[in-house]
Chain A
């Protein structure tokens, strides 16, 4: 598609394709490219939205290095790594969903979409369990925060825990939105809305889902892995 500089309606458009072609697009290919470009534009705003939080993480980590490094003792690396694996599996099933839609395989599409939702729900369940552990261990910033192992860091370590809840919380909200979108896709697939001529919603929500996965790919090492252990 690298040659699609000037979209011209020279492609023969079949009557089946015509059904899915919005009137303001010349060809199905142009419509697909516009969908993809628009979705990426949205995802770039999301990159910068999360980027602000990553930048503040970088600044504060540089400022209070000891306090930030001490917090990784309170993170459950096994759960974090397991959750990373769960999200990677959900990305695979999402990619397989798009493939199934492209090949008009309705049953396979529904199966992979539901699998993706299950992986997403498992991730959120583990995350909720981790949040609960943090609550039990008095690691919620501001709310009776206790940091007995490193009393000298009690003030500054709260900044990390604030960022932890802000970043993983915002990530979890994106996951919940993603689950809602996936449920909508399952409903559409159930009603046989998607096929090899029209699978754009599956592919675009797939892009969103993969983006949320990428955010976690960076959150996992920054919050769980680096530091003193």
Chain B
């Protein structure tokens, strides 16, 4: 058999499976407690940990080449750009005055 094949150990795979199940139960339980704004943070953090476990162990990225790892990271970065730029547009729209018919427009710099 070729030297480049990494056969994962069964106990590691089952361990990841058990962790994923425990994290699913945990995130469901946490959602029943009102933590205010922290609810979404906790839910997304747990989802992130679960996704990382799947990528690193189940998808075997730990055994892949540096080039594949770079691609995976690049994918995450591009997803970050997609969400960050979209979100920064929508969340900053009310920072500037809304265009209105010119006779109703009040431009702050001309008010004083």
Q: Which of A79-98 contact B (CB under 8 A)?
A: 81, 84-85, 88-89, 91-92, 94-96, 98
The chain B residue with its CB closest to the CB of A214 is B51
Complex contact B82–A88 (CB within 8 A): no
Q: At the interface, yes or no: B40 with Cβ under 8 Å from chain A?
A: yes
Complex contact A29–B2 (CB within 8 A): yes
Q: How many residues of A contact B (CB 8 A)?
A: 59
Complex contact A59–B90 (CB within 8 A): yes
Complex contact A103–B13 (CB within 8 A): no
Contacting residue for B47 out of A41, A44, A218, CB 8 A: A218
Report chain B residues within 8 Å CB of A213: 54, 58
Report chain A residues within 8 Å CB of B20: 88, 91
Complex contact A91–B54 (CB within 8 A): yes
The answer to whether A47 and B54 touch (CB under 8 A), given A59-B86, A81-B24, A102-B7, is no
Interface string of A57-99 (1 = CB under 8 A from B): 0110011000000000000010001001100110110111011
Name B's interface SS: helix
Report chain A residues within 8 Å CB of B10: 96, 99
Complex contact B2–A210 (CB within 8 A): no
The answer to whether A41 and B4 touch (CB under 8 A), given A95-B13, A226-B43, is no
Q: Quick check: which of A30-38, A124-132, A141-149, A170-178 contacts chain B, the rest being far away?
A: A30-38
Report chain A residues within 8 Å CB of B66: 2
The answer to whether A91 and B17 touch (CB under 8 A), given A51-B83, A55-B82, is yes
The chain B residue with its CB closest to the CB of A72 is B31
Complex contact A92–B17 (CB within 8 A): yes
Report chain B residues within 8 Å CB of A1: 4, 63-65
**Closest CB-CB distance, B91 to chain A, in whole Å?**
7
Q: Which of A1-59 contact B (CB under 8 A)?
A: 1-2, 4, 11, 17, 28-29, 32-33, 36-37, 40-41, 43-44, 47-48, 51-52, 54-56, 58-59
Report chain A residues within 8 Å CB of B47: 217-218, 220-221
Q: At the interface, yes or no: A191 with Cβ under 8 Å from chain B?
A: no
